[in-house]
Amino acid sequence: MTDRLVVIGGDAAGMSAAMQVRRRQPDREIVVLEKGRWTSYSACGIPYFVGGSVPEVDDLVARAPETFRDEHHIDVRLGHEARALDLDRRVVEAWDDEAGQTVEVGFDTLHIATGAAPLWPDLPGLDGPMVHAAQTLDHGLALQEALRSGARRVVVVGGGYIGLEMAEAFVQRACEVTLVEASDHLMPSLDGDVAAPLVDALGGLGVDVRVSTPLEAVEDGAVVAGGQRIPADLVVVGLGIRPRTELARDAGIALGVKGAIRVDRRQRTSAEGVWTAGDCCESFHMVAQAPVHIALGTVANKQGRVAGINMGGGYAAFPGVLGTAVTRVCSIEIGRTGLSGREADQHGFAYVEASVEGESRAGYLPERKKLTLKALAERGSGRLLGAQIVGQEGAAKRIDVLATAIQAGMAVDDVVELDLGYAPPFGPVWDPVHLVARRLLSELRQFT
């Protein structure tokens, strides 16, 4: 009996699943169809490649196709783009780039890891040659090429993670960088009060930051945004992504929020023997208790692992996401987890919020590093709902403590009593995490 597994998409969500199956089933036939030229690469590393701190594009590849083929007997077929799915005949139709023809690949079990596509607004000039995305290694190479060809005036569209990291990358390459963001603050996934200092911080790096400045058009040699004309040789669009699910939809597989593939806790789709993971599928939000679409490398890896364990005959469940994310732009660190105030409102929570100015060293030591920590707790239950950090060195990864507390369903009075490590080089005796919890506790008392 053969049970051939076909994986569509050779990045994190696809290959981590394939590897889990291989680990459990050394003889299982596994075929991977990847439309591009690479497998298992770090899209998150692209800004560091463009900025010059990662010298070669291959450095971003965790495992090359040959490694999968030679060491793990996984039949990786590059340049194969899946274009149609016949669930009755159990066949994928794929365009084979090299052969210049469509081939049929039969499967018993199918894993869909088609990822996401950059959001691309329908505005004049966005298909022009100087406009780029920053999502794949090919995009990274194209940006490098543009720099080599003399591009110096760069407009980055979108002030989220990718936008900020790309702005830093181009500053490092001595470009003149303008960042335009439609909303009134950078990092729209943070609340405005926490994100406010980022405009000045990016300004300090030499980035011309313009908030409340929506993109309107790209013209010859300029970007038009918020009624302003900004000269440009190169435009990088980082406006978020949408799940790439046409293939699944056309095959009749159920889609959910934002058009992402609907999944159960084992990563099964609505179709028998068809699984999915990564940027193309939904996740369950553990605080909102609702499906969401959050495209992050960590989630793709975890979901891929869970799907692979299940497809390999084991049992694993993916409990969901908190939307935890961190970044660093030069010396400024940013972290967030759980619900922001805006998200908590959307989901109908009644909550209190508190902010503290903390330090990542004891007050009496030199070289203190400052941070701002904001957190939200639900009225009634006192449950921690979310947190956001902006600060200097040592700030961002502190979000992991709050993420762990939220994932554990802790209430604020549990957080006050967390036994966290203390020594003067790492902060005050009451960690900022304790201080914000104490302040939330005071706020909650008004409602009890």
Told to check if 297 binds its own copies by CB under 8 A, we report yes
Find the shortest distance in angstroms from Cβ 311 to its own copies: 18
Instruction: Find out whether 294 and 283 touch, Cβ atoms under 8 Å.
Output: yes
Told to check if 335 binds its own copies by CB under 8 A, we report yes
Told to check if 240 binds its own copies by CB under 8 A, we report no
Number of residues that bind its own copies (CB under 8 A): 65
Told to check if 405 binds its own copies by CB under 8 A, we report yes
Q: How many C-beta atoms surround the C-beta of residue 290 within 10 A?
A: 13
CA distances from 80 to 38, 76, 248, 439 (A): 12, 9, 17, 55
d(CA 93, CA 226): 44
| Active-site residue identified among 44, 175, 280, 330 | 44
Question: Amino acid identity, residue 427?
Answer: G
| Of 179, 180, 184, the residue nearest 214 (C-alpha) | 180
Q: What is the DSSP letter of 257?
A: G
In the complex with its own copies, the residue whose CB is nearer, 23 or 229, is 23
Find the shortest distance in angstroms from Cβ 401 to its own copies: 5
d(CA 54, CA 64): 17
Told to check if 326 binds its own copies by CB under 8 A, we report yes
Told to check if 54 binds its own copies by CB under 8 A, we report yes
Angle at 21 between CA 15 and CA 22, to 5 degrees: 85
d(CA 411, CA 287): 12
SS3 of residue 425 by DSSP: helix
Told to check if 328 binds its own copies by CB under 8 A, we report yes
In the complex with its own copies, the residue whose CB is nearer, 1 or 423, is 423
d(CA 207, CA 193): 21
Told to check if 323 binds its own copies by CB under 8 A, we report yes
Q: Is 44 a catalytic residue?
A: yes
Told to check if 259 binds its own copies by CB under 8 A, we report no
In the complex with its own copies, the residue whose CB is nearer, 153 or 302, is 302
Q: How many C-beta atoms surround the C-beta of residue 99 within 10 A?
A: 10
In the complex with its own copies, the residue whose CB is nearer, 115 or 323, is 323
From the list 214, 226, 291, 394, which residue makes contact with its own copies (rule: CB under 8 A)? 394
From the list 88, 366, 446, 448, which residue makes contact with its own copies (rule: CB under 8 A)? 366
SS3 of residue 38 by DSSP: coil
The contact set with its own copies (CB under 8 A) reads 12, 42, 44-45, 48, 53-54, 59-60, 161, 286, 296-299, 301-302, 318-328, 335, 337, 362, 364-366, 394, 396-401, 403-405, 407-410, 414, 416-427, 429-431, 433
Residues labelled catalytic: 44
